[in-house]
Structure 1
Amino acid sequence: MKQIWNILGSKSSVWAVWVQSVLLRGRSFWEINIPSNPSWSWRKILQSRDWCRGWFQTCIGKGTATSLWYDYWLPEGKRIIDILPHRLLFSTGLAWTSRVSDIMHGDQWNFPASSPDLQVLWSSISFNPNPSMEDHCIWKGHHSGTFTVHSAWELLRESRPENCVHHLLWFKGHIPRQSFILWLASKKRLNTMDRLHNARMLAHTTCILCAAHEESHNHLFFDCHYSNTVWRTICSKGNVQWPSLPWNQLLIWAANTYRKGKDIMHTIPRLMLSTTVYFLCHERNMRIFSQQFQSHHSTSRDILELIRTHIINMEHKCPIPDSVCHTWGIQQP
């Protein structure tokens, strides 16, 4: 769409001038057929016309650069060829290559005598041409009339409500693999025992961490005795108080509480959450697939050591408060 904007409106782009003179050769961009052997980029540009028709509207000046029948110059960004049948347009005696200037006389319209249907169309044109200026294109997707990639994206994309927990997942200083696992957990897309049982892939649903209850996302984070013990150890060490809430509610609470992207006092709790979720999933998988069991003391120690190391690595990017250094046993340089 950016390239279409350049073709229709740019006077400074050498490429756009070349397209107008070599590929279009006076024809309307909206009219020409896709050649049998075009370049890849030219074919893609022509194919994209179907989903951006009507968004580029021509404002009439001299009328010499605008196709009478094929360009979008009528009020509300319409074009004549889409409104009336070809037979009726042929009856005007104007060629298919006619320009808007062919129905102009100075700064007034000189509409040809025609059928009542065409007269209704002519009477709907409430503006007069302006021979003192060139025809120019405006982008209807933005109030300024100037094309921007951002405004085009907002028009084309499927708009959905913002995920309120996004800044728990992707923040400055996040660990990508841990954020990915937390994202899956926030969507309840981890392969917990209850999901595998519902898919008829397992006969039992017992949590392998505590061997006492059915494993689900709510149980794993953090109703399970093992995971809850690890989580309480991490929160205690980090000197951060988290409420005892079901998994979804806990995420919403954290998203509303730790919103400041560059504040280290908000970064550390998010790092604690993603790291704990990641290590709990890792411990669970190691028990299932490798029959390797680790105590909650060892898991907590590994989590704390990784968080501490990551905070130290963040030191060169932002200053670490003395309280954080004291809590995590970090010596100031």
Structure 2
Amino acid sequence: MAYHFFSLLSNRSSLWTSWVKLHRLKGRSLWDIPVQASASWGWKKLLRCRLLFRDYFWSKIGNGQNTFVWFDKWCDDCPLGNVVTPRQMSRYGYNVKSKIADVIEHGVWAWPDEWRTTYPMLFQLHSCHLSNAKDQVLWRNFEGKLVPFTSKEVWDTIRIREHQRDWSNIIWSSFSIPKHAFTCWLIFKRKLWTQDRILRWNHRVTGSMNQMCCLLCYADLETHDHLFFQCSYSTTVWNIVRDKVGMNSIQQRWEDIARWFVPRAKSRAVYAIASKLVVAASAYVIWSERNARYFSNRLRPPEKISDIILSTVRDKLLSFKYKNSNNVRQFLEEWKMDGADYYEEA
């Protein structure tokens, strides 16, 4: 939506922009045009986004021929249309379509003298020197700096900001498998659709309470804590795969695993990266097994699940390049990978 605004404000060359300016705006400012009841649904939606973007689109004055003096943001006191009424504009030869070039003569503001007492702030504006360059539409980012318009800058400005979680670096990295990282993110936020969450949504559970139990072990209510990895089934899987990355002493509770990872989250050591891959793959495959049992009644033993996890991680490890060191050589030997094929070139 912001890009549509930028297209109209910057006069981007396109058929849509030309049609809108000719049939919708008709020489008026995008910020001033009213929402007509007979307008199309899409046009109404676009205009209703104006409040969201109003303070972020700014004009850098060049020749002043494309910047609306009353409605565009070109200084901190804008829009001036909030101060000067349309009646006063027309009374002194201006209108809602006036541009910056229309109110500057010989490098100074050409405001009517009668406005000195009515609108004194107009005479306190810094002088605006026109040039031969075209006016430029810029984006004001969250730091208050005027920068070229990009979708990245828009998102970085309007998004909701929170403090970074200490577990974010455990999940997101260039080494992660995206679908595995996404599942881990849901686990950390406790957003997977486990049976305990469904029970909170619907207190009047129909049918047998057995339907609410864990489908992996049939021994307890299915929760995030139970699935990862306190269930007897997932515990068996975890005890098999953790030996591969030197996490033998780490208990099966998700909180214990996360606590162990936090100080190692940014490490690029081969065992640290492999351990994150193993944990993420374990969570993903166990959740997939749970869904397979729930929707397809397909059961696989924990040994089969462990093989899938280790095979998936090994495939990912095959895509990396490694430094030739004793620690790396030992690691590659444990994973049955021929180190000569994966070392970085000197």
Pick the TM interval, shorter chain: 0.7 to 0.9
Quickly say closer, same or farther: Cα 1:286–1:120, change in 2 above 3 A. Answer: closer
| Distance change >3 Å, CA 193–CA 114, structure 1 → 2 | same
Q: What residue number does 1:56 align with?
A: 57
* Residue 187 (structure 2) aligns with: 185
Q: Identify which of 316, 321, 338 aligns with 1:318.
A: 321
In the TM superposition, what whole-angstrom CA distance separates every residue of 1:24-54 from its partner, at most 9, and x where no partner exists? 675545445689789x8x8887665443224
For 2:225, give the aligned amino acid.
N
Q: CA deviation at 1:252?
A: 4.9
Q: Deviations over 1:133-176 (max 9, x none)?
A: 55634535142543343322222222233354444445445445
- Report % sequence identity: 24
The one of 180, 195, 209 equivalent to 1:203 is 209
Matched, 1:277 2:289: no
Letter in 1 for 2:318: E
Letter in 1 for 2:236: T
1:85: which partner in 2? Answer: 85
Sort the Cα spacing of 1:95 and 1:276 in 2 relative to 1 into closer, same or farther, 3 A.
closer
CA distance in 2, matches of 1:9, 1:216: 53
Number of residue pairs aligned between Structure 1 and Structure 2 = 323
SS at match of 1:307: helix
Aligned AA (2:52): W
How far off is 1:78 after superposition?
0.9
Alpha-carbon distance change, 248 to 51 in structure 1, aligned in 2, over 3 angstroms: same
Match of 1:266 among 241, 254, 272: 272
In the TM superposition, 1:20-169 aligns within 5 A as 23=22, 27-32=28-33, 49-60=50-61, 63-73=64-74, 75-114=75-114, 118-125=118-125, 127-134=126-133, 136-137=135-136, 139=138, 141-142=140-141, 143-169=145-171
- 8 Å contact from structure 1 (residues 238, 327) kept in 2: no
What is the CA–CA distance in structure 2 between the aligned matches of 1:303 and 1:147, rounded to whole Å? 44
| CA RMSD between the two structures | 4.1
Gap regions ≥5 residues in structure 1:
none
CA pair 185-134 structure 1, distance change in 2 beyond 3 A: closer
1:230 aligns with 2:237: yes
Q: Hey, what's the Cα distance between the residues in 2 that align with 1:100 and 1:289?
A: 65
User: Aligned letter for 2:79?
Assistant: R
Q: CA deviation at 1:271?
A: 1.9
Structure 1 residues 94 and 258: alpha-carbon distance in aligned structure 2, compared to 1, 3 A threshold: closer
Q: Secondary structure at the match of 2:140?
A: coil
Mapped to 1, the partners of 2:39 and 2:309 lie a distance apart of 59
1:164 and 1:252 in contact (8 A); partners too: no
Q: Is the 8 A contact 1:57 1:139 kept in 2?
A: yes
Query: Aligned letter for 1:141?
Result: R
**Equivalent residues in 2 for 1:2-13, closer than 5 Å:** 2=3, 4-5=5-6, 8=9
Q: 1:240 aligns with which of 233, 239, 247?
A: 247
Q: Is the 8 A contact 2:109 2:123 kept in 1?
A: no
Work out whether residues 170 and 276 of structure 2, in 8 Å CA contact, stay in contact via their aligned partners in 1.
yes
Contact between 1:103 and 1:111, CA under 8 Å: does it hold in 2?
yes
Give the distance between the partners of 1:26 and 1:195, measured in 2 at CA: 55
Residue 272 of structure 1 and its aligned partner are, at CA, apart by 1.0
Distance 2:130 2:318 in 1: 64
C-alpha separation between the residues in 1 aligned to 2:102 and 2:292?
Answer: 78
2:87 aligns to what SS in structure 1? Answer: helix
Runs of 5+ in structure 2 lacking a partner?
342-346
SS at match of 1:84: coil
Write the letter of the residue equivalent to 1:220: L
Q: 1:270 to 1:8 in 2, by over 3 A?
A: same
Change (3 A) 1:157 1:56: same
| 1:257 and 2:260 correspond | no
Distance, in Å, in 1 between the alignment partners of 2:288 and 2:4 is 48
Whether the aligned pair in 2 keeps the contact of 1:91 and 1:114 (CA below 8 Å) is no
SS in 1 for 2:58: strand
Whole-angstrom distance in 1 between the partners of 2:181 and 2:190: 14
Distance 1:57 1:290 in 2: 56
Q: Which moved more, 1:161-170 or 1:214-223?
A: 161-170
- For 2:280, the aligned partner's letter is S
